[in-house]
Structure 1
Amino acid sequence: MGTSRMFRIFVVLGSAFMILLIIIYWDDVGASHLYLHTPVSPGPKIPHPPPQPRPHTSRTPSFLSDIDAFVNQFLEPGTGEPTDTAPADTSNQSEKAEERYIPRREWKIHLTPVAAELRERQEQRRRLLREMCSNDSVAFPGKNRSFDDIPNKELDHLIVDDRHGVIYCYVPKVACSNWKRIMIVLSESMLQEGVPQRDPLAIPWDLVHNSSMHFTFNKFWKRYGKFARHLMKVKLKKYTKFLFVRDPFVRLISAYRNKFEMRNDDFYRRFAQVMLRRYANQPTPPATVDEAFALGIHPSFSHFIQYLLDPQTEKDMPFNEHWRQVYRLCHPCQIQYDFVGHLETAEEDAELLLRQLRVDNVVEFPTSHRNLTASSWESDWFSTVPVEARRELYKLYEPDFRLFGYDRPDSILNE
């Protein structure tokens, strides 16, 4: 009995094994060809023309050829690049709204070749960054740390546009308002009558600088949790990363003019009152900026420089973003930027960048008529600052000068 029972068990197991082999063989040989040609989701039923006779061949289509055909349907003919996604269905919008949604200046995209000197300029700027970051003669806090060592709160200047694969590190007082406008247009984070806003200059100033309008790296933790840092590094590897800079001393002059020569109650309370008490013999400065301006009281540019050089300043709080060094805002030795724009060549750089991003048919850099702070004014502005203070200030901002290719201002430092 025992031997007969064992024999029946082996027969059953053997039969099951053979059935399994048949299933696997069918799945590999027969069904795989069926799966490759099955649509992901059923589409509308469209009558198909009768099949055309195929030339006889002794070899059936290979697995790899089917995969190639599947992938190629998503590639733009002749480019090897993915085709643009289909535009959203706007049939429920008004004709006027649809007209606003159509990208402007579509005729302009990539019509003329990029000048060789502009490409070379970018290569030189990127090369300089790499050399300065690997050069031991250029030292500054945080230079040799890894990206993982950068605190999350220091990543709040990196704006991400997932629609176009772009990361922009904004630097205040370097046309950042207009670049933030462009990022809003590209990310379609602002709607006008249900349609994405396409005109950068139509975006109100208060919304331009509203943090809710921009998806920055320091918001990744809330959205992605423990995967945040990994996703940051994935996007840094795959996306186009850019920033714009300017002469560091000229940027300081611009920040002073904008925040302390103009009425700004917030900056008056947070910073100007401190400067007046510490350096201007004003133990009880006016309570509001209006009272101070009515009395002709505000910190001088020399007071502002004293404030920047005072060790107590950063003991109280980190530098405000309007005068914080670029290397602290954008981490150029941890992030390999693909494009480095200079405010001094802003129009040429902006046009080249938008072309490289392939969005020059969607948006253009706004032409601004603002009163720019000129480099030629540096000597006049620093005439009231003692020479020793100028040299100390240069040491404070020397990394920015050297990283981004700005000459040492000898005419100011050697007077």
Structure 2
Amino acid sequence: MGTSRLFRIFLVLGSAFMILLIIIYWDDVGASHLYLHTPVSPGPKTPHTPPQHHPQTSRTPSFLSDIDAFVNQFLEPGTGDPTDPAPADTTNQSERAEERYVPRREWKIHLTPVAAELRERQEQRRKLLQEMCANDGVAFPGKNRSFDDIPNKELDHLIVDDRHGIIYCYVPKVACSNWKRIMIVLSESLLQDGVPYRDPLAIPRDLVHNSSMHFTFNKFWKRYGKFSRHLMKVKLKKYTKFLFVRDPFVRLISAYRNKFELRNEDFYRRFAQVMLRRYANQPTPPASVDEAFAVGLHPSFSHFIQYLLDPQTEKDMPFNEHWRQVYRLCHPCQIQYDFVGHLESVEEDAEHLLRQLRVDNVVEFPTSHRNLTASSWEADWFSTVPLEARRELYKLYEPDFRLFGYDRPDSILNE
């Protein structure tokens, strides 16, 4: 490489780092006007050998990947010359050699197109979202705010995979465990014997929901500082964004079954005891879930609905994520999702999505054989809930019904 070319590269690198320092450390006054016009690349999507870690430890993506992409924009196009590599780490080479793996071949070109009816299904779902968000007759808290107005703590369900340019908003009780597994496999954020997991079902369940395994939007501020909100917008524009939803009432039934009909010490202490005291005439409920189950005591489904409708509930704390409305978790009127999956058609939708993401040669959506809550059970579950309470509950979750195309459950609401 000639002296003049080396000089130009060092000049560009120095200038880029100076710009980034100005972006990050500039005083609040006028700083946003500087970095809002700075082009940012989502980073390279080619496989790379990850830094080595002990088994089952997360790998934190580096801000340098974004810096590298930024700097590469200024190098002469068409030369094919890579940037100078970092000095090799010669420590523990024999141990590191055992941990090396061959990166998977990704971005395979698929010759068979996605079925036209599946593409049309997605077009209709996206169009419905846009129409409902523009419809003044559909009102709910936070609908008309901008993305900048969303508090950072409410962006904790948006998981980012920079390797493949994907953003997934997870909704509890909507196959989120399996989609989180897939995101871990794709982002290679968890290693086993020095090698990233390839089988989603092999990932230990306690790690699937461990927040350290997932890089979410609410973590951007800690890593990127003032640059974080703009970088979110860049990724939202360039990445493929998806979420999965299900019938809102069926989701509530599923949440109740999983958290209150099964032994769950955390949910018993945080929520079940409150319900028993308020609605079940139990001023001193058992101290533990085991004691409660031993005497056959747990909140009924009707108690759970009372809890959701009680104004005191959200005065104490926001809804738990397992029954919080999807519009509050995923902000569909501020984020234009590229793919909207339904749990009722999860196998077809999952196959379509993985094909669209060009990763179906890397990972498959796990088939679940667990006993799923069926929509046909709604009438039985709600038979113990007073009619007026059912109608109030529908008003509470009506935005989710309308945004995502679920029919109003007239058989439950018009008795």
TM-score (norm 1): 0.77
| Cα offset, 1:88, TM superposition | 14
Q: Contact 1:260–1:268 (CA<8 Å) still a contact in 2? A: yes
Cα distance change, pair 246–89 in 1 and its aligned pair in 2 (3 A) = farther
| Cα offset, 1:43, TM superposition | 23
Instruction: Name the counterpart of 1:356.
Output: 356
For 1:82 and 1:245, how far apart are their aligned partners in 2?
Answer: 43
Cα distance change, pair 90–183 in 1 and its aligned pair in 2 (3 A) = farther
| Cα offset, 1:113, TM superposition | 2.0
Which structure 1 residue ranges, 5 or more long, are not aligned? none
Cα distance change, pair 194–10 in 1 and its aligned pair in 2 (3 A) = closer
Q: Secondary structure at the match of 2:354?
A: helix
Cα distance change, pair 30–353 in 1 and its aligned pair in 2 (3 A) = closer
| Cα offset, 1:112, TM superposition | 2.3
Q: Contact 1:103–1:362 (CA<8 Å) still a contact in 2? A: no
For 1:117 and 1:110, how far apart are their aligned partners in 2?
Answer: 18
Q: Contact 1:185–1:363 (CA<8 Å) still a contact in 2? A: yes
For 1:3 and 1:79, how far apart are their aligned partners in 2?
Answer: 16
Instruction: Name the counterpart of 1:108.
Output: 108
Cα displacement string for residues 320-375 of structure 1 (whole angstroms, at most 9, x for unaligned residues): 00000000000000000000000000010001111111111100101111110000
Q: Secondary structure at the match of 2:306?
A: helix
For 2:176 and 2:353, how far apart are their aligned partners in 1?
Answer: 15
Cα displacement string for residues 261-315 of structure 1 (whole angstroms, at most 9, x for unaligned residues): 0000000000000000000000000000000000000000000000000000000
| Cα offset, 1:69, TM superposition | 20
Moved more, 90-99 or 310-319: 90-99
Cα distance change, pair 244–81 in 1 and its aligned pair in 2 (3 A) = farther
Cα distance change, pair 83–293 in 1 and its aligned pair in 2 (3 A) = farther
Moved more, 66-75 or 355-364: 66-75
Moved more, 395-404 or 20-29: 20-29
Equivalent residue runs for 1:22-41 within 5 Å:
none
State the Cα RMSD in Å.
Answer: 14.6
For 1:317 and 1:157, how far apart are their aligned partners in 2?
Answer: 18
For 1:6 and 1:105, how far apart are their aligned partners in 2?
Answer: 33
Cα displacement string for residues 98-133 of structure 1 (whole angstroms, at most 9, x for unaligned residues): 999668898996242211000000000000000000
| Cα offset, 1:93, TM superposition | 11
Cα distance change, pair 297–359 in 1 and its aligned pair in 2 (3 A) = same
| Cα offset, 1:27, TM superposition | 37
Cα distance change, pair 342–34 in 1 and its aligned pair in 2 (3 A) = closer
Aligned-residue sequence identity (percent) comes to 92
For 2:377 and 2:59, how far apart are their aligned partners in 1?
Answer: 78
Q: Contact 1:244–1:342 (CA<8 Å) still a contact in 2? A: yes
Cα displacement string for residues 249-272 of structure 1 (whole angstroms, at most 9, x for unaligned residues): 000000000000000000000000
Moved more, 31-40 or 246-255: 31-40
Q: Contact 2:60–2:189 (CA<8 Å) still a contact in 1? A: no
Cα distance change, pair 178–93 in 1 and its aligned pair in 2 (3 A) = farther
Q: Contact 1:103–1:361 (CA<8 Å) still a contact in 2? A: no
Moved more, 286-295 or 48-57: 48-57
For 2:22 and 2:286, how far apart are their aligned partners in 1?
Answer: 90
Q: Contact 1:75–1:81 (CA<8 Å) still a contact in 2? A: no
Q: Contact 2:259–2:267 (CA<8 Å) still a contact in 1? A: yes
Cα distance change, pair 405–109 in 1 and its aligned pair in 2 (3 A) = same
| Cα offset, 1:193, TM superposition | 1.1
Cα distance change, pair 181–93 in 1 and its aligned pair in 2 (3 A) = farther
Q: Secondary structure at the match of 1:30?
A: helix
Cα displacement string for residues 193-252 of structure 1 (whole angstroms, at most 9, x for unaligned residues): 111111100001110000000000000000000111010011000000000000000000
Cα distance change, pair 123–97 in 1 and its aligned pair in 2 (3 A) = farther
| Cα offset, 1:55, TM superposition | 59
For 2:341 and 2:96, how far apart are their aligned partners in 1?
Answer: 36
Q: How many residues align?
A: 415
| Cα offset, 1:21, TM superposition | 34
Q: Contact 2:99–2:193 (CA<8 Å) still a contact in 1? A: no
For 1:60 and 1:99, how far apart are their aligned partners in 2?
Answer: 18
Q: Secondary structure at the match of 2:100?
A: helix
Q: Contact 1:75–1:82 (CA<8 Å) still a contact in 2? A: no
For 2:7 and 2:43, how far apart are their aligned partners in 1?
Answer: 53
Moved more, 296-305 or 93-102: 93-102
Cα distance change, pair 259–48 in 1 and its aligned pair in 2 (3 A) = closer
| Cα offset, 1:393, TM superposition | 0.2
For 1:293 and 1:20, how far apart are their aligned partners in 2?
Answer: 58
Which one has a bigger Cα radius of gyration?
Answer: 1
For 1:69 and 1:6, how far apart are their aligned partners in 2?
Answer: 18
Cα distance change, pair 72–2 in 1 and its aligned pair in 2 (3 A) = closer
Cα displacement string for residues 49-97 of structure 1 (whole angstroms, at most 9, x for unaligned residues): 9999999999999999999999999999999999999999999999999
Cα distance change, pair 27–53 in 1 and its aligned pair in 2 (3 A) = farther
Q: Secondary structure at the match of 1:231?
A: helix
Q: Contact 1:33–1:63 (CA<8 Å) still a contact in 2? A: no
Cα distance change, pair 244–65 in 1 and its aligned pair in 2 (3 A) = closer
Cα distance change, pair 161–54 in 1 and its aligned pair in 2 (3 A) = closer
Instruction: Name the counterpart of 2:147.
Output: 147
TM-score (norm 2): 0.77
For 2:179 and 2:45, how far apart are their aligned partners in 1?
Answer: 46
For 2:364 and 2:50, how far apart are their aligned partners in 1?
Answer: 49
Q: Secondary structure at the match of 1:222?
A: helix
| Cα offset, 1:11, TM superposition | 33
